[in-house]
A and B are shown apart, each in its own frame.
Chain A
Amino acid sequence: MLSVADLTKSFVSPEGGRAEIVRVGRFELAAGEQRALRGESGSGKTTFLNLIAGILAADGGRVELDGIDLAALPEAKRDRLRADKIGYIFQTFNLLQGYTVLENVLLGMSFGPRGVDRVHAVELLRRVGLEHRLGHFPRQLSTGQQQRVAVARALANRPKLVLADEPTGNLDRTSAREALALIREVCRENGAALLLVSHDDGVLAQFEGLQDFAVINAAARRGPGAVPADGKEGGS
């Protein structure tokens, strides 16, 4: 379902040179599969997810989603594909503060090809236990509740792939366990593949499919620095 090959991304470093952050030779995720990637802060996990989501354009390589090479698409088509097939749960939730809980979920739907389905949005929010908070604004919710809104929003378009970036990073242990269970359960119910990145061993321990990000990201193994002259270092 998701296939990544020879994916590279570098940024201009403060010193003026280019620092390579991501160099992934090969990475695959099957439909419905749930995989966790372990990695320390600064290892390029978020960049990797952003590249998969098409939020960032890769310097090189391929990101295929259902056989479509995301990296080769123009930006507008990447946006459409993201709205259609990908649900993204951000570490900081990234809820729209000026919008109600329901509007946050509806907006997530509105950019997808199916359009707004209010009944489905309310059902999702009921599923995450927020049916009584539809008209509330994010600032009126607890951190755990905000996390659940982010989960509902990410799943609103019935995505085939859910990307979760440190989704429990801001939660206490109990809330983190509940939130993770919820994400995994809802993904299973929707038949969505889940790719989660975290540095929290408590979270990672719950996944059978666990990989060390440094193993698949050659740039992380080498550490941030100049792009190698041959530009070919990498591996899975």
Chain B
Amino acid sequence: MTLPLIVYRSLRQHALSTLITAGSIALACGLLMTVWVVKTQAQAAFVSTSTAFDAVLGARGSKLQLVLNGIFHLEASPGNLAASDYELIRKHPAVKTAIPIAVGDNLRGYRIVGTVPQLLTNVEYAPGKKYAVAPGGKVFGEAAREAVVGSFAAERLGLKVGSTFQPFHGLTFDEKALHEEVFTVTGILTPTNTPADKVIWVPIKGVQTMSGHDPKAATDVSAVLIQLRAASAGVMLDLMINKQGNRMTFAYPVGAIMADFFGKISWFDRVLALVAYLVALVAAGSVLASIYNSMSARQRDLAILRALGARRRTIFGAVVAEAAGIGALGAAVGFAIYFGLLTLVAEVIRAQTGVVLDVTEGHAVLWICPLAMTALCALGGAVPAVKAYRTPVAETLAPVS
């Protein structure tokens, strides 16, 4: 009863500084956990999203740009491929599946991607998972002005089966760039938690022959998504297309390109983590300063406790436990900040990329960070605890008579 009571009463007596200090710790803890989880989950989500296809073939340019454009529906296409190039790769014996896509239009900022129905009927976007149209809908016809809308885009745009829309030209929304063609929604995709959820899928011919598009490019494609029969074929195609050729780029393997991308932007994680570490250090320092500064006011209480029989180590332990208590309180509130921030960041990532982060998924940092922060605060409390330990009882209680 003794130690918890002393700690509780001391925290109550210094409620304002306790709350302010715990608040800064909560911020540090929340930031640290969010940075870590977002980094880990985003990386895992992006890499797992890219497992459906082994490679992306496109115009000569950046492999990363091809992958971002073809798989994640970000970035612009580096250029077009001729229909003959698509046919060449489609018929290559090492290629199991070749899905062409054509981009260049949007509906109020949501990308319209032209493709073949086989993407939505045959391809597994993740192991054992195929796209599915929600009941009451169907996949678009190959030559019809029809569309299947990703779940997120449908929700945001208020589209349902039977809705009609006119596309806007370009990848960014410009209300003056309205196309004449009217498309009818024939199906809504069930959620996949992948970038496909924020795409409006139409027949590839629908994009290729859209009014205002260059008639000379009416059979061109933006990229080809490729599944290989064997991994060794990727090395061979890489050699053939990238090293010996100069017209096209074969982005392979997709997972390694994404991992390389995350490696390149890892400095950003490190900066964020560094900021969070600094906030944590400042928070631990503020625990030290807050308790240390109040030591003069506390010394009389500590001397009374000593006069009542409390040993020096009890007093030392009480101050350290108080510091740890502030740390633990901060860490607990840090979870609220973490969930709030993560939910916000996950929503932004979902809106921007279609990739969904699981806010309920556990991670080692969720227990390491609160424990480390509590331990750091306890360490910070050791300094004033030494001062408390040294409190001279008789001199503090009363002047010598």
Prevailing SS type, chain B contact patch: helix
Kindly list chain A residues whose C-beta atoms are within 8 Å of the C-beta of B314.
111
Segment 1-40 of B: residues with Cβ below 8 Å from A: 1-2, 5-6, 9-10, 12-13
Residue of B nearest to A197 (CB): B401
Kindly list chain B residues whose C-beta atoms are within 8 Å of the C-beta of A91.
398
Chain A: residues with Cβ within 8 Å of the partner, total of 40
Say yes or no: B307 contacts A88, CB within 8 Å.
yes
Closest beta carbon of chain B to A102's beta carbon, Å: 11
Residue of A nearest to B12 (CB): A98
Give Cα A44 to B401, complex, Å: 5
Say yes or no: B401 contacts A45, CB within 8 Å.
yes
Give Cα A111 to B313, complex, Å: 12
Residue of A nearest to B11 (CB): A98
Say yes or no: B9 contacts A103, CB within 8 Å.
yes
Segment 313-362 of B: residues with Cβ below 8 Å from A: 313-314
Say yes or no: B397 contacts A90, CB within 8 Å.
yes
B363 interfacial contact with A, CB 8 Å: no
From A11, A43, A79, residue with most partner B Cβ within 10 Å? A79
A96 interfacial contact with B, CB 8 Å: yes
Hey, what's the 0/1 contact readout for A21-57 against B, CB within 8 Å counting as 1?
Answer: 1000000000000000000011111110010010110
Say yes or no: B305 contacts A55, CB within 8 Å.
no
Closest beta carbon of chain A to B294's beta carbon, Å: 12
Which residue of A46, A47, A96, A153 is within 8 Å of B301 (Cβ)? A96
From B9, B12, B312, residue with most partner A Cβ within 10 Å? B9
Which residue of A92, A110, A116, A157 is within 8 Å of B398 (Cβ)? A92
Closest beta carbon of chain A to B19's beta carbon, Å: 16
Query: Size class of B's contact patch?
Result: 20 to 34
Segment 174-220 of A: residues with Cβ below 8 Å from B: none
A229 interfacial contact with B, CB 8 Å: no
Q: When A53-B307, A55-B307, A94-B304 are in contact, do A46 and B400 touch as well, CB less than 8 Å?
A: yes
Say yes or no: B401 contacts A103, CB within 8 Å.
no
Kindly list chain B residues whose C-beta atoms are within 8 Å of the C-beta of A96.
9, 301, 304-305
Segment 48-75 of A: residues with Cβ below 8 Å from B: 50, 53, 55-56, 75
A76 interfacial contact with B, CB 8 Å: yes
Closest beta carbon of chain B to A116's beta carbon, Å: 6
Say yes or no: A107 contacts B308, CB within 8 Å.
yes
Segment 91-116 of A: residues with Cβ below 8 Å from B: 91-92, 94-99, 103, 106-108, 110-112, 116
Closest beta carbon of chain A to B317's beta carbon, Å: 13
Q: What 3 A-B pairs are tightest by C-beta distance, nearest first?
A: A83-B309, A111-B309, A46-B401
* Residues of B that sit less than 8 Å from A by CB: 1-2, 5-6, 9-10, 12-13, 300-301, 304-314, 393-394, 397-398, 400-401
Supplied contacts A108-B308, A112-B309, 20 more A-B pairs, CB within 8 Å: A43-B401, A44-B401, A46-B398, A46-B400, A46-B401, A47-B394, A55-B393, A56-B393, A79-B312, A83-B308, A83-B309, A88-B307, A90-B307, A94-B307, A95-B304, A98-B301, A106-B1, A111-B2, A111-B308, A153-B308
What are 19 A-B pairs at a CB distance below 8 A? Answer: A11-B400, A21-B400, A45-B401, A50-B394, A76-B312, A82-B307, A82-B309, A83-B308, A88-B307, A88-B308, A91-B398, A94-B304, A96-B305, A103-B9, A108-B308, A108-B309, A111-B309, A116-B1, A116-B2
